Amino acid sequence: MTVNFQGMSTLLNYLEDMGKRVDYQVRKKALVAGAEVLKEKAKESVPVRTGKLQANIIISDVQGEEIHVGPDQQGTAFYGHFLEFGTSKMDAQPFLGPALENNKDELEAKMAEVIKRELGLT
């Protein structure tokens, strides 16, 4: 029994071209979109007293394949690290970790949406 595939070379060329289009800019846009979702979810989870921490959750620039979301360590929200992880005298009150864990599906969906749009698949 012999099986012939018609159009296989066309499909392979299409997939190769698609891979080339997933360049740094597409990955960067997807990372930023996911980071924006995480930033908003983290803001909703912050234990609010003055609002400084909530107002100072920032997104870093994309560096390679990474982007960071969290409190501005140089500004008035430096204490966000202490809330997230606790200290020897204070229990942790995490907001960023739970925001990520509870919203992974939404972050991934947003990133996938951006990639599909950038590749012209939607």
Euclidean distance between CA atoms 52 and 33, whole angstroms: 23
In this predicted structure, the answer to whether residue 120 has a pLDDT above a threshold of 90 is no
The pLDDT value recorded for residue 8 is 72
Cβ-based neighbour number of residue 1 at 10 Å: 2
Nearest residue to 66 via CA among 96, 35, 37: 35
Backbone angles phi, psi at 54, to 5 degrees: -60, -40
pLDDT band at residue 13 under the 50/70/90 scheme: confident
> What's the rounded mean pLDDT across residues 7-19?
75
> What's the rounded mean pLDDT across residues 27-49?
93
- Decide: 55 and 108 in contact? Cβ < 8 Å: no
Provide the whole-model pTM: 0.79
Phi-psi label, residue 28: left if phi above 0, alpha if psi -120 to 50, beta otherwise: alpha
The pLDDT value recorded for residue 30 is 94
